[in-house]
Amino acid sequence: MKKRVSSILIALLALEPWITLPAQAKGGRFLGSLIGGAGRAAARSVGGTAIKSYGPNVLTVEQLKTCLTKAATLDKDSESLSTEQVRLSAAKTELEAGERELEQKKAKLNRSRKSEVDRYNKDITAYNTRLQNLKADQAAYNTKVDNHNAGIADFNGNCTKSYYKDDMDLARTSLKLD
């Protein structure tokens, strides 16, 4: 006859739709698109001399340098976020496999053996710790994505304007981007 251990509490998995695929950061090759010349302005010629006009939609050399720096930062951040997204997706897949394993252990668990129940509860605690760590990692990642997207909005609002080719060349040379 098996003796039941009445003082053992079997931990229940608190399963919830806890984590979604990491948020997607909008973005791409900002530096390449800015240098690519999509926004060139034309100088007027008066008496054979080119006259540049810098209105609100034409970037100055200083503005171009700022935009080039922002573009390089956005490119670097996009790459970093992409790498982190892959890591988070892999961690989520691993955690889901652990969840399935725990469900299988639960189905086979001999609740009358304290040592088995203790081992199962220890596994649940480890799973819940990994779950909380992954939730925290995703929250931090989502904050980075939000900040990155704010940077993109700033770039789009301030840097997707016209410029003079020689101003771009000067800005690139001054930042040593050639």
Question: Which residues, 6+ apart, have CB-to-CB distance to 165 below 8 Å?
Answer: 37, 40
Q: What is the DSSP letter of 105?
A: H
Model pTM score: 0.75
pLDDT at 103 over 60: yes
Under a CB-based contact definition with an 8 Å cutoff, are residues 171 and 68 in contact?
yes
pLDDT at 91 over 80: yes
The pLDDT tens digits for 33-86 are: 777 755 566 666 556 677 888 999 999 999 999 999 999 999 999 999 999 999
Tell me which amino acid residue 100 is. Answer: R
What is the Cα–Cα distance from 132 to 130, expressed in whole angstroms?
6
What is the Cα–Cα distance from 156 to 151, expressed in whole angstroms?
9
Percent of the chain with pLDDT strictly greater than 90: 65
